[in-house]
Amino acid sequence: MKKNFKLFKIGIFLALILGFALGQDAYGAAVSWTGAGGDNLWSTDANWSDGTTPDATDDATIGAGISVVLDENGTVLSLTLGAGATLTDDGNTWALQVYNNIDLSAAGASLTDTGTLNLTSGFATGAQTPVITVASTSTLAVDAFVIDAAAANASTVTLDGNMLVSSLAIDAAGTFNAVNGDADTLTVLGNITMSAATATVGLVTPPSLVIGDATLATSTTSTMTTAADADMAWADVTLYNAAVSLVAAVADDDMTIKDDLTLAGASTITDGGNDVRLVMDGAATQTITVSDDSYLGLSDLFIDGAATVVTTADDLTIEELDLNNGAFTQTTGTTYITAAPVYTAGTCTFNNLSVNTGVGNITWPLPMTITGDFTVFGGSNLLVDQVLTTIDNSTAKEFVFSGGTITFDDLTLAADSRITTNSSFSLGDGTGTGTFTISSGASFNAGTGTITADLTAANYTLTNSGGVDTCLTIANLATTGGGNTLTTATDLVV
């Protein structure tokens, strides 16, 4: 219940608005918890130092060791909890609206609410810059976390510490950043929604993101939705038993990761054909880790700038792999690709590579290394064009090709490689010279497959760079085109 002199406080609030409009600094009134009302309820006016519950003009403080129960929708300008102080709801989903800072920097402070924590820029003019400060021993856990601001009065929220929310919504011109980068973590147990083009996460200093909870027996389902041109960047991203669906308003909208991506437990990331582009552009080596029971399926993995991405994925499905001076290395599992890679410049190293040409012909534009099996299927053609493809592993690996024509312009077997196949493929793309090189200790057995050299435009060479300890076995060797020469090292062909 509000007292009559609340009208006086409304006048103060209007004066604050006027102060912002005039470009002047404006501060709220300091209000603290006294408990004089005889209970621990937020709504009891007498529990507060000015005899009335706080509102949007008040910097509210709950002192050390005090426990307060939120039993109505609350509104404050800012909120501070002392050491060991707690603010929790009464079991109902009350909303707490804060216009500026939330300070839980004192040890053991705790704010938990099953309702909505709304950080809203509520003044007529002037941007708000709330800072949420949470000590390592303190707790901030709410249901819905909303950053809401009109375009004319953007709200920039900065996290200093860790917080747990059931969902995150950033509307209009709201922005969310971190003070300490990957040391500040937002844990989300539900959806993330950015509903406007001007909404941003992490453009200044990205926080880390955790979806799901390693301590929960149940799984988490999350949809990450971005409006057209909204920007989302995180430091580390970790999933615990979480199923995440990426949804973009337009094709090739980005979600950027500056550090590592980890899928733990039984987790998934998919985009349901929404063509969301996952961008890895950290300044140092980044790692994608996918557990045995997890699945990572992307329309577009984009490795930008100096980023080097090392993936320990059990399996990784990518429709399109983009490299812009970056590097991609897979140490275990299989990479499944269904569209032509896009290289500005960069290098690729795969463990096992499986290419599906079912959607159309694929040309592979720049060098790659394969250390395991190489499988191509789908019915259309694959041209590994003007590149050096190296199969490098002392354990016997396989070429398995079905449907369409598989063509290598240059193919090199690194030292001690052992390749077997019963699949047919072509050497040379018919536009220039090419080589099939066998390095020291390497062996290749074509089995029942037919190897066809295209001599339309130039010579093609089968060469031995490793001496007598190499072995090339081709039962069916053919040529196509004419006027040029297939050169072979006689000690290699049996």
246: Cβ contacts below 8 Å, ≥ 6 apart = 224, 255, 269, 270, 271, 272, 274, 276, 278
Residue at 478: amino acid letter: A
Question: Hey, CA dihedral for 481, 482, 484, 490, is it positive or negative?
Answer: positive
Closest CA to 426 of 414, 444, 408, 410: 408
Question: Would you call 364 helix, strand, or coil by DSSP?
Answer: strand
- Note down pLDDT in tens along the chain; length 494 residues: 444 444 444 444 444 443 433 333 345 799 999 999 999 999 999 999 999 999 988 999 999 999 999 999 999 989 999 999 999 999 998 999 888 899 999 999 999 988 888 876 543 344 568 899 999 999 999 999 988 765 445 678 899 999 999 999 988 778 899 999 999 999 999 999 998 888 889 988 999 999 998 887 789 999 998 888 888 999 999 999 999 999 887 666 788 999 999 999 999 999 877 778 899 988 888 999 999 899 999 888 998 867 788 888 778 999 888 888 788 989 888 999 988 888 777 888 898 999 999 889 998 877 788 888 999 999 999 988 756 667 766 678 899 999 889 998 888 888 888 889 999 999 887 777 788 888 888 888 899 999 998 888 778 888 877 666 678 888 888 888 877 788 776 555 55
pTM across the whole model: 0.87
Q: Which of 82, 23, 79 is nearest to 56 (CA)?
A: 79
Report the alpha-carbon distance of residue 27 to residue 30 in Å, rounded: 9
